[in-house]
Chain A
Amino acid sequence: MSSAATTPPAVDRVDGFSRKSVRKAKQKRSQSSSQFRSQGKPIELTPLPLLKDVPAPEQPDLFLKKLQQCCTLFDFMDTLSDLKMKEYKRSTLNELVDYVTVSRGYLTEQAYPEVVKMVSYNIFRTLPPSDSNEFDPEEDEPTLEASWPHLQLVYEFFIRFLESQEFQPSIAKKYIDQKFVLQLLELFDSEDPRERDYLKTVLHRIYGKFLGLRAFIRKQINNIFLRFVYETEHFNGVAELLEILGSIINGFALPLKAEHKQFLVKVLIPLHTVRSLSLFHAQLAYCIVQFLEKDPTLTEPVIRGLLKFWPKTCSQKEVMFLGELEEILDVIEPTQFVKIQEPLFKQISKCVSSPHFQVAERALYYWNNEYIMSLIEENSSVILPIMFASLYRISKEHWNPAIVALVYNVLKAFMEMNSSLFDELTATYKSDRQREKKKEKEREDLWKKLEDLELKRGLPSAAIIPT
């Protein structure tokens, strides 16, 4: 170091390029609901006797009072305020959970609106802004909900309530309505995975018990997904919603309604285009396969859809697509396979020759799948000519020896399948390449000719952009 320097700047231990680590270091781990505005005044709740300590006839009334008390919200960002009352609400909620689990005869008609009100007061809130603008669910720790000690018990209570033997959907449907469901669905955007897990159970129960809400729930999930795909690319609960849908699809009656088919083609397939696919791909692929097991005739549109949205620059996603495609091929009917084999294997031939070895490897693993092998064998006269050029070239050129070895196996398999065609393709490989090159050259010449034509005729700018 030079002696001219006064005090050299401290060494950049955390510098511009590792912004994530900086952020993590000072990340606050939890946040409160955006709706909560502290009044600054301490909150007072008058303690009530325990339910088990009062005679049975008085219990329903006390139950209602306790529900009302639990509508009071506390500021959990201020860890010091209202400690006693927070503890009181927590124990009351605990008591309520136990009460709905074991007691019988508590569910009077008056209780329904109060239960729904208490749950709504506690769980429905505008979710706070994400801690950082570029929250990356794969990299960053999720921000946890500060009021979880209460919130968890409210969810727990609500699920027990919905699952209770005394629960009557015919009464509840007055209170658990479309508006309620809409607010519930919005909460799926919560960053807190614990909350989303509870929500998943709640929504599942509601879907199961309220037949009148089913179509509405499906439609709203549709809207959430469309917004996610085409507008924001941000929604934390996609995986959870897909998981619920997986079991919903399972229960669809045959023949499938047009609405369901449209959902598959216009919503589930476009979901593959989203950048954060890896976060929900397993659930998505499950839904797709469910659909195909229900109705094999959907195979062609699904595979064509996947081919249309095939990742162009993201190898990681490409590997996921290949995985999903194998799941589909596992259940494909031979008659369906024949319909899509050409475009499908054109894509697979591109994947096999991908310079990214994971992509190539994933595609080549198809040849280890007995069912797929049998399909290829049956149709080798179509598939072999599509695949041959790529395979032949990689066997000579690929940088990764493992890939070359796999390709040799595949070539060997083809040779055994259809040796006459294989020999023919080997023999014409060179002349085919030359023909391709010639065609390429012709095209180049023609483009050149075209440019001359354009120059000659001149494309006056006024002709293109009218003023």
Chain B
Amino acid sequence: NYEVYWDCCCEGMAGADGDDSLYPIAVLIDELRNEDVQLRLNSIKKLSTIALALGVERTRTELLPFLTDTIYDEDEVLLALAEQLGNFTMLVGGPEYVHCLLPPLESLATVEETVVRDKAVESLRKISHEHSPVDLEVHFEPLVKRLASGDWFTSRTSACGLFSVCYPRVSSTVKAEIRQHFRNLCSDDTPMVRRAAASKLGEFAKVLELDYVKSDIISLFTALASDEQDSVRLLAVEACVSIATLLPQEDLETLVMPTLRQAAEDKSWRVRYMVADKFSELQKAVGPEITKNDLVPAFQNLLKDCEAEVRAAAANKVKEFCENLPEDSRETIIMTHILPCVKELVSDTNQHVKSALASVIMGLSTILGKDNTIEHLLPLFLAQLKDECPEVRLNIISNLDCVNEVIGIRQLSQSLLPAIVELAEDAKWRVRLAIIEYMPLLAGQLGVEFFDEKLNSLCMAWLVDHVYAIREAATCNLTKLVEKFGAEWAQNTIVPKVLGMANDPNYLHRMTTLFCINALSEACGQEITTKHMLPVVLKMSNDQVANVRFNVAKSLQKIGPVLDSNSLQTEVKPVLEKLAADQDIDVKYFAQEAISVLALA
């Protein structure tokens, strides 16, 4: 009984040799059994300290058996333990003794809770590399075998993740055994285990010799890909990418393609979704010829799928798929096969599909060039800019730069403007916020004239939005615009309007003036700040609302560095001194803070 044993040796440590420094270890062991989970958790997290204090030998002979035997605990504690043990190699005496860590990790790899088990497997994988080839065969591989033939599904599930780490470093007889175990798990009775095996199929294939990939892996792959449960079949799609990468081109047609074709037309939308989601990877793995002959029609079908989820996943891949088409036939394939589907998706009934398409469609213009873009893509962009769903419009606007490079933004500006205006006034503030973020980008691409004429008023309107987040973003937007268009532009167009708001009856708007000044002073420079902004700020120190007054103090602190010392001494200082004697405690506080930061005391 380890607990009793521990009590004895802990007392021994503390008492007999009177070594005070060992006493806390006894306490820690006690804490490992404390009733309070949090305290147990704390001590488990300090496990490395215990081990260090015990020294490598006693860690091996006493601590680890204790952990293996007596720890049945809350999953949270087990998770911490599983993680700790992955870093324990040096604490048990280095790689030579690393196998001592296997027993506790083995039992952790069989618990029900997925996160604990996964962490135990992760730690096992980590320490597997620290085993010598001999130890791997003597200690590690038998553990994998035990897990692989465990009674309950949890241990078999864990085993799936361990095959690939030991396979490359064991003898050929053991290799054969490992392959056999993996085969068994691929046809396990329990779908949970088959799923685990299917998800590791690609990884396992990578460490196998090519001949075995062809003989073993392909048959497993085919079987898993036609499993009765769609949750297993869809994992085979993922494995398909790795397997196809490993095989020589001439074998792909016979070994992989029948299964892939079948997956692309699977009766379950989840499997088709997975194919759509992995399409770019699959395309790269099978190469240009098969892409031309097989994947193009498959992609067309996915774009026309009856399930919106699948269409959206495929729509997301349109740009990447087109980009990776072989150059010699790229344009023809896009124009004759892909574009017709894309055109239909523009008026899809599902907004997620349209929005997925809108996030990538602009990218096609760089692939197709100027003429095709104007003739074929532009009408689609324009249609999407008028879409009823704001997300679709936003996605188009956020990708304007792609089109700008190819045909210039002017082509779009006629339709762009109504779209922007509508988004700017959308009822949902998150939409308004999103469009504000694109303003600096749009301003840069549309030029100052267009901006002044059409967009400036929008930017000013946002400053008085009734949602604070919008006002804040609008303030920040102004700074970026000034950085783009320069101080002179600022002085003529926006500064007067901002300063005008200082007389607004609504104190929130008056405060916006101050926030704008805070943001703009640096970009506008000393002259504008001193001449135009400072007088307004100083005047606002008489505001009847305390919040405005203390924001005056904060503003003065903020713009102080931009001002010259004369204005600081003669204008700012008296006002701050007056505010420092304000009857409101917050106003006083911020005024004093400003005085000390600006060193005006």
Contacts and interface: CB of A to CB of B under 8 A. Distances in A.
A466 B92 CA distance: 12
B467 to A, nearest CB: 7
Interface stretch (A3-11, A78-86, A327-335): A3-11
B466 A2 contact: no
A182 B429 CA distance: 48
B464 interface: yes
B97 to A, nearest CB: 12
B306 A8 contact: no
A467 to B, nearest CB: 10
Interface in A444-467: 446-447, 449-450, 453-454, 456-457, 459, 462-466
A464 B231 CA distance: 39
Given A270-B112, A466-B89, A126 B267 contact: yes
A5 B427 contact: no
A34 B195 CA distance: 23
A16 interface: yes
Interface stretch (A48-56, A226-234, A426-434): A226-234
A1 B307 CA distance: 47
B464 A464 contact: no
Interface string B191-206: 1100100000000000
A138 interface: no
A223 B87 CA distance: 34
B460 interface: yes
B425 A9 contact: yes
A7 B270 CA distance: 46
B24 A4 contact: no
B509 interface: yes
A15 B429 contact: yes
A14 interface: yes
A34 B428 contact: no
Nearest to B88: A464
A443 interface: yes
A2 B509 contact: yes
Contacts of A1: 464, 506
A432 to B, nearest CB: 16
Interface stretch (B46-54, B133-141, B441-449): B46-54
A453 B53 contact: yes
Nearest to A270: B112
Interface string B23-47: 1100110010001000100100010
Contact of B432 (A5, A9, A179, A227): A9
Majority DSSP secondary structure for residues of B touching A = helix
* Size category of the binding interface on chain B: 35 or more
Contact of B27 (A14, A15, A446, A462): A446
B115 to A, nearest CB: 10
B564 to A, nearest CB: 30
A16 B27 CA distance: 51
A443 B461 CA distance: 61
Given A9-B465, A223-B191, A446 B230 contact: no
Contacts of A34: 268-269, 306-307
Contacts of A441: none
B46 A6 contact: no
B114 interface: yes
Contacts of B306: 34, 36-38
Contacts of B250: none
A231 B426 CA distance: 39
B112 A230 contact: yes
Nearest to A226: B192
B48 A12 contact: no
21 contacts: A2-B504, A4-B464, A7-B461, A8-B465, A8-B466, A9-B470, A11-B427, A15-B428, A34-B269, A37-B306, A129-B307, A223-B190, A223-B191, A227-B192, A266-B112, A308-B74, A446-B24, A449-B24, A450-B28, A466-B95, A466-B130
Given A6-B460, A9-B466, A466-B90, 15 more contacts: A4-B460, A5-B460, A5-B461, A8-B461, A9-B461, A15-B429, A129-B269, A226-B153, A266-B152, A443-B39, A447-B24, A449-B23, A450-B28, A450-B46, A464-B87
